[in-house]
Amino acid sequence: MERKNNLLELLAYIYETELSFVEDLDNVERSETGIIENWSAKDTLIHCAHWQGELANNLVAVSKGNPPEREDNISRANDAIFELHRKDSWEMAMAGLKDSYQRLSEQLQRLTEADLTNLEFFRWQNGRPIWRIIAGNGALHPLAHLAGYTRQHTGVKRILAAYEAVLPRLSELDESPGWQALLEYDLTCFCALAGQKERAIKSLSSSLGLSPDYQDLARQDTDLDSLRSEPGFLALFPSEIPKSEI
């Protein structure tokens, strides 16, 4: 029950964060028309709501003995979501956000601890338990997209603060190095986007210490572009320091 309650609190907090994000938007940002390469605030919220709703739908399907469904090409699916909803009104977007949050919370309420640790609900779990899918779609995914939007506008520090607020709860979900490394890596990204370079490098070092698997991602992740010339960042990838600097 503790993990389920933790997740329910996470979903509620992220929904409130999304509502706060909306309240901070000015009239220009609310009326902005996005393009597929550069989503508007409305597109961002619709995208997050869609994947939460899709997870809720698939949990319902499994509970009824029906096969869950998912587009294998996620990039293509995201483009289709954008095109389908690009003319939706703000009222429709907000209604969809509320509906997806409520439906996912309802499905989470019905899951047992055994369900939450199940590795075979969906064929695309790749060794991840259901609780991690829910934490990803319900918390990490929305925060990442809100940060992605606000780095082009304002408010990245506020998204960082939201992540910091839920980080202890996320950390309590699982003590494994893999999960802790993911949380540290996400903190790295939020700090880098917020201009907190020293803290970002420290978090990245912690993440790589827990799981070297994040090295390849860090080398190409555009969220970390502001760190690439920093000595602390370069020290984490010594083989990539130019010979003239050694």
Residues 25, 128, single domain; the answer is yes
Q: What is residue 240's predicted lDDT score, i.e. its pLDDT?
A: 59
Q: How many CB atoms lie within 10 A of CB 241?
A: 12
Domain boundary among 158, 189, 223: 158
User: Cβ distance 106 to 134 under 8 Å?
Assistant: no
Identify the three-state secondary structure at position 69: coil
Q: What is residue 241's predicted lDDT score, i.e. its pLDDT?
A: 52
Residues 115, 152, single domain; the answer is yes
Q: What is residue 243's predicted lDDT score, i.e. its pLDDT?
A: 45
Residues 129, 221, single domain; the answer is no
Residues 145, 196, single domain; the answer is no
Residues 132, 186, single domain; the answer is no
Residues 130, 13, single domain; the answer is yes
Structural domain containing residue 90: 2-158
Residues 21, 114, single domain; the answer is yes
CA angle centred on 180, ends 173 and 123, rounded to 5°: 70
Q: What is the pLDDT of residues 53-91, one digit of tens each?
A: 999 999 999 999 999 988 889 999 999 999 999 999 999
Q: What is residue 154's predicted lDDT score, i.e. its pLDDT?
A: 66
Q: Is 64 exposed, middle or buried (0-12, 13-18, 19+ CB in 10 A)?
A: exposed
Residues 6, 104, single domain; the answer is yes
The domain tally of the chain equals 2
Q: What is residue 15's predicted lDDT score, i.e. its pLDDT?
A: 97
Spell out, as residue ranges, where the chain has pLDDT lower than 70.
1, 153-154, 239-246
Q: From CA 38, how far away is CA 105, in angstroms rounded?
A: 30
84: in domain? yes
Name residues whose C-beta falls within 8 Å of residue 175's C-beta, 6 or more positions apart in sequence.
none
Among candidate residues 20, 36, 55, the one with its CA nearest the CA of residue 146: 20
Residues 71, 101, single domain; the answer is yes
Residues 98, 192, single domain; the answer is no
Residues 25, 113, single domain; the answer is yes
Beta bridge partners of 157: none
Domain boundary among 158, 184, 200: 158
236: in domain? yes
Can you give the length of the chain in residues? 246
Q: What is the CATH number of the domain that holds 151?
A: 1.20.120.450
One-letter identity of residue 47: H
- Gyration radius of the chain's alpha carbons: 19
One-letter identity of residue 222: T
- Looking at the whole model, is its pTM more than 0.75? yes
Q: What is residue 174's predicted lDDT score, i.e. its pLDDT?
A: 94
